[in-house]
Amino acid sequence: MTKLKIKCSLLALALTCPMTGQLFGPMLPAQAAEGNKQVDFQIKKPLIPVTKDFTLSNGLRVVLSEDHSVPVTSLAIVYDVGAKDEEKGRSGFAHFFEHMMFQGSDNVGKVEHFKFIEGVGGSLNASTHADFTNYFEKVPSNQLEVCLWLESDRMRSLKVTPDNFNNQLETVKEEKRLRIDNQPYAPSNIRVEELAFDNWSNGHPVIGYFEDLEASSVKDVKQFFDTYYTPNNATMAIVGDFNSEDVTKLVNKYFATIPRGTTATRRDLREPTQTKAKYEKMTDAQAQMPAFWMSWKAPARRDDDFYAMNLLQTILSTGESSRLYQRMVKGDQVALRVEVAYEERRGPSAFETFVVYKPGSTSEKVRDIVMAELDKVKTTGVSDEELQKAKNQLLRGIFSSSSYTSLQKSLSRAEMLAEYTSFFKDPALIDVDVEKYMKVSTDDIKKLANKIFTREGVTVVDVVPKDKEAKKG
């Protein structure tokens, strides 16, 4: 087992690394007097040991990681299909299947997947993204076979029937009404992505357009399932208290006879360079305060600039000490809310800033403040202390038990292994990525900012509360 050496400042975060037991956190008085002193600590590598990695003859890749610390096992399966794979006029299929996958198969009744897992004290969920869909369960270790049986049965024999199709179409409609139509600023969030991306495959919403689903047939939906929900388009990771040889036999028992599917044709996701700023104004019946979105096209996941982009997002908007919060909420007091989001897609991604500002100001003036802060990054960069703090926050996300992505959790490890293996064919890349994050310099941040945050490359959507727009008219 090799070790990754990292330089870490003792700044604002108290954190004990579970891999080493060493503490890195707030500076003690004696240390503070010495300034931003660097100290060495070590993280054992690999962060997620892989016990076994194999591929069935039908193309299903399986990664196993034994951990006997607690009698719990997690299973994560990634299907390499998301909104980016949809055909224009047939949007929403990827998200639709997240629902359909719980509607029964040859040996499992409708929504019985929940009954079986929760009945043994486990938990489960699923999510759809622009570039993948995942399903996962966490159960007592002696119930792992139940998970394998359930996942294999729906991969082999999902019931795509007119009844299930119509039922889930109504469910998705209700979800859209609840989570988007009746939520302030949610429709404008969708609109800024539609406007920012020139390629439809990148810009349409994951939930899709209802007219597309309503115009589809059961045959269309079944064809989508047969194309993407196949063993050769899936990756499964299992982490926890089990014996790898026993689990290998179970995986073969349940999955080996599922027929291989055809290789899916992937869409061209390339985006042209934006040479002119884009702008749109829209009203929002649910919004109480004016707001705006600013978006720039951003590096794809694991591109050279990806690591600096993530750290800059943290510096700009994570916590009350972040640059934008300090300037806009605390300092100039023009904003009620300021957030930055960077979606980590494998294809073209987006870096978005969202600001809810106070009445009495204007969107133009508040946007000027955002641009002024970004210009500071472009000209004077960020400080060593800011960058180190962002790196510490990243490490906290990896190691702290309170984090969703914590490596202390078997489910987090399973999801991470499944994603790295599915996307990049290498489950060990988390070690490489942590190392790359730690090597990001203040010069890297400055170069990235100059490349991304141009006046020509920005897309803006102004959001005006409906009652305010009516009074103005």
Per-residue pLDDT tens digits for 212-237 = 988 988 999 899 999 999 999 999 99
Q: Cβ distance 80 to 69 under 8 Å? A: no
Q: Which two tokens stand for residue 227?
A: 């194309």
- Which has the minimum average pLDDT: 33-37, 40-44, 117-121? 33-37
The pLDDT tens digits of the residues spanning 381-424 come to: 999 999 999 999 999 999 998 888 899 999 999 999 999 999 99
Residue 455 makes CB contacts below 8 A (sequence gap 6+) with 277, 371
34 pLDDT exceeds 60? Answer: no
Give the per-residue pLDDT at 403: 87
Give whole-number Cα distances, 88 to 84, 224, 269, 319, 348, in Å: 10, 13, 13, 39, 18
**CB neighbour burial string for 8-22, b if at least 16 within 10 angstroms, e if fewer:** bbbbebebebebeee
The pLDDT tens digits of the residues spanning 268-302 come to: 999 999 999 999 999 999 999 999 999 999 999 99
**467: confidence class by pLDDT, cuts 50, 70, 90:** confident
The pLDDT tens digits of the residues spanning 148-185 come to: 999 999 999 999 999 999 999 999 999 999 999 999 99
Residues in the chain: 473
**197: number of CA atoms within 13 Å, CB side?**
23
**472: confidence class by pLDDT, cuts 50, 70, 90:** low
Q: Which two tokens stand for residue 283?
A: 């009203």
Q: 401: burial class by Cβ within 10 Å (0-12, 13-18, 19+)?
A: exposed
Q: Cβ distance 258 to 231 under 8 Å? A: yes
φ and ψ at residue 464, rounded to 5 degrees:
-115, 125
- Listed in sequence order, the DSSP H helices in 257-383 are 306-317, 323-324, 363-379
Q: Which two tokens stand for residue 173?
A: 């409609």
- Listed in sequence order, the DSSP H helices in 293-428 are 306-317, 323-324, 363-379, 384-399, 410-424
Q: Cβ distance 377 to 324 under 8 Å? A: no
Q: Is 0.75 surpassed by the pTM of this model?
A: yes
- CA neighbor of 78 nearest in space, from 359, 425, 462: 425
Q: How far apart are the first and last CA of the chain?
A: 69
328 pLDDT exceeds 50? Answer: yes
Residue 153 makes CB contacts below 8 A (sequence gap 6+) with 105, 106, 107, 108
- Which has the minimum average pLDDT: 57-61, 148-152, 359-363, 440-444? 359-363
101 pLDDT exceeds 70? Answer: yes
Q: Cβ distance 437 to 444 under 8 Å? A: no
Quote the CA–CA distance of 65 and 47 in Å, as a whole number: 11
Structural domains of the chain ordered from first start? 2-45 (no CATH), 52-255 (3.30.830.10), 278-412+425-472 (3.30.830.10)
Residues forming beta bridges with residue 462, ordered by sequence position: 281, 292
Quote the CA–CA distance of 431 and 239 in Å, as a whole number: 17
- Listed in sequence order, the DSSP H helices in 256-362 are 306-317, 323-324
Read off the amino acid at residue 178. L
- CA neighbor of 460 nearest in space, from 386, 352, 382: 352
Quote the CA–CA distance of 466 and 153 in Å, as a whole number: 49
Q: Which two tokens stand for residue 406?
A: 């914590």
Q: Cβ distance 290 to 464 under 8 Å? A: yes
Q: Cβ distance 363 to 305 under 8 Å? A: no
